[in-house]
Amino acid sequence: MNEYGFNPTWSDEQRRLALLERCWNPPTIAKLKRAGVGPGWRCLEVGAGNGSIARWLRDAVRPNGRVVAVDLDTRFIANEPSIEARQANILTDEIEPEAFDLVHCRALLHHLPGNEVAALKRMTAALRPGGFLLAEEPYSGPMIGSRTPAWAALWQAFVAAMPHADYIWPLSIGSAFRAAGLTDIEVSGAADVIQGGTPEAEFLRLTVEAVRNRLPPNVNIEPGIQLLRDPHSFEPGFVVYCALGRKAQ
C-alpha cells in the first residue's frame, strides 16, 4: 500500500496546502465550470486536502446538490457545512457505486505509484454513466532538468526525499484514463514559471521544508532555496497535467 509523503500534523502543512490552492485553483475551477458543474450535481472530491475545491463545489451545486470530500486525514475539512467529509483511503475504502456526476482529484495520483489506474478505476466506479472524471497532476521534468544547477539540484534532492511519489507519472495520465475505461478523454498541460518571492515560490519552498529531514545529506539545497526567494529569478515549475474523461453511457 502507498505511503503518503507529507505529514498533515506539520505546523506549516495547512499553509502549504492553502498556497497550492491559491496558485492552482483558478485553472481547476475553469475546468470544473467547463465540465458543467452546477445546481443539483453530486460531486466527489478525492484527496481533498485543505478543502477549497470541495467548498467551491458545495457552493456551485446549491441548493440540492451533494459534495463528498474524501481524504486519509480530514482535519482541514471536517465540520464544513454541507460537505460530507469522509476519512478514507481511495484504494481500499468503500465508495457508493454510480452515485456521482463528477469525481475530481488533484495532486493525488502521483502519490499512489503503481496504483494510479486502480485509483482511477475506483473513482470511475463511483460515477454514474456519463459522469465526468477530472484529474490534475504535477510533472517535475522541467525542474529536475533545469540548466540552472542550483535549481536542478534542489528538485533532484526533493524527488529523492519522496520515494513514495512519482512526479514523472503525470506524463501517463491519458493512457491511465484509457486503462480505467474512460471515454471522451482530453489531456492538457500547463507549465509554470516560478518567480522568486511569489506565492508560487513560497508554496514550493514549504514543499521542500516539509521533507527537509529526508533530503540527501550530501546536497546543498540553500542556493536553490535562494532562487525561490529572489524576485529576479525565473525558473521552471511543475507542468500540471490535466485529464478529463467520461464514464461510458
Ligand X SMILES: C[S@@+](CC[C@H](N)C(=O)[O-])C[C@H]1O[C@@H](n2cnc3c(N)ncnc32)[C@H](O)[C@@H]1O
Using CB under 6 A, list all residues that contact ligand X.
4, 17, 20-21, 47-50, 70-73, 89-91, 106-108, 111-112
How crowded is the C-beta side of 43, counted as CA atoms within 13 Å?
30
Among residues 48 and 176, whose Cβ is nearest to ligand X? 48
Residue nearest ligand X, Cβ-based: 49
Identity of the amino acid at 204: L
Cell matching residue 43: 460531486
Among residues 77 and 221, whose Cβ is nearest to ligand X? 77
Among residues 17 and 154, whose Cβ is nearest to ligand X? 17
Q: Look-up: residue for cell 482529484? A: 105
In whole angstroms, give the CA distance from residue 204 to residue 98.
37
Query: Cβ of residue 56: shortest distance to ligand X, in angstroms?
Result: 11
How crowded is the C-beta side of 188, counted as CA atoms within 13 Å?
8
Query: Cβ of residue 59: shortest distance to ligand X, in angstroms?
Result: 16
Among residues 13 and 233, whose Cβ is nearest to ligand X? 13
Burial classification of residue 165, based on how many CB atoms lie within 10 Å of its CB (0-12 exposed, 13-18 middle, 19 or more buried): buried
CB under 8 A, 24+ apart: contacts of 20-25: 20/49, 20/50, 20/107, 20/203, 21/49, 21/50, 21/52, 21/53, 22/199, 22/203, 23/192, 23/199, 23/200, 23/203, 24/106, 24/107, 24/136, 24/240, 25/52, 25/53, 25/56
Among residues 21 and 200, whose Cβ is nearest to ligand X? 21
Query: Cβ of residue 98: shortest distance to ligand X, in angstroms?
Result: 20
Query: Cβ of residue 142: shortest distance to ligand X, in angstroms?
Result: 19
Among residues 107 and 221, whose Cβ is nearest to ligand X? 107
Query: Cβ of residue 119: shortest distance to ligand X, in angstroms?
Result: 7
Query: Cβ of residue 40: shortest distance to ligand X, in angstroms?
Result: 24
In whole angstroms, give the CA distance from residue 39 to residue 143.
40
